[in-house]
A = this chain, B = another copy of it.
Amino acid sequence: MRIGELAARAGTTTRTLRYYESRGLLPARRGENGYRTYDEHDLRLLRQIRTLQDFGFDLEETRPFVECLRAGHPEGDSCPASLDVYRRKLGELDALIGELRSVRAQVGEQLARAERARDALAADAEVPGGPEPVCELGGRTR
């Protein structure tokens, strides 16, 4: 199978495959005409890479999985190095999610505060003569 077919079957592009090869992640055999040649096992490796990429792993982080498969193990995560990557990723994800939740809370608070301030001004504007004095002696309220 040539590069175009592999790309199509994996739902990616030839450029991407050449990029992976340039990174040493997915080297290719060459035919007599210089064309890259791939087999089903390469498709397996490529799918492993793509799956992890979809999870937000960067390319280097997929390397242990690919090497594990290439070493003949049944799954990309059959090797300790892959498990380490999983664990590290879980830690990163937890940290990131925590940060984002914190930010979300703060932004939500800012929005609520700003809306209250806006509504207070709007309510003031409805009173002809401007807002009520903060401190009053009961004269106008009666």
Contact = CB atoms under 8 A, between A and B. Distances in A.
Interface stretch (A2-10, A11-19, A76-84): A76-84
Interface stretch (A39-47, A95-103, A124-132): A95-103
Tallying the copies of this chain within the complex gives: 2
A97 B104 contact: yes
Most buried by B among A101, A104, A107: A107
Overall SS of chain A's interface? helix
A101 B104 CA distance: 15
A110 interface: yes
Interface of A: 55-56, 75, 77-78, 82-83, 86-87, 89-90, 93-94, 96-97, 100-101, 103-104, 106-108, 110-111, 114-115, 117-118
Given A56-B100, A78-B118, 13 more contacts: A56-B103, A75-B114, A77-B114, A78-B114, A83-B114, A83-B115, A87-B111, A90-B108, A93-B103, A93-B107, A97-B100, A97-B101, A97-B104
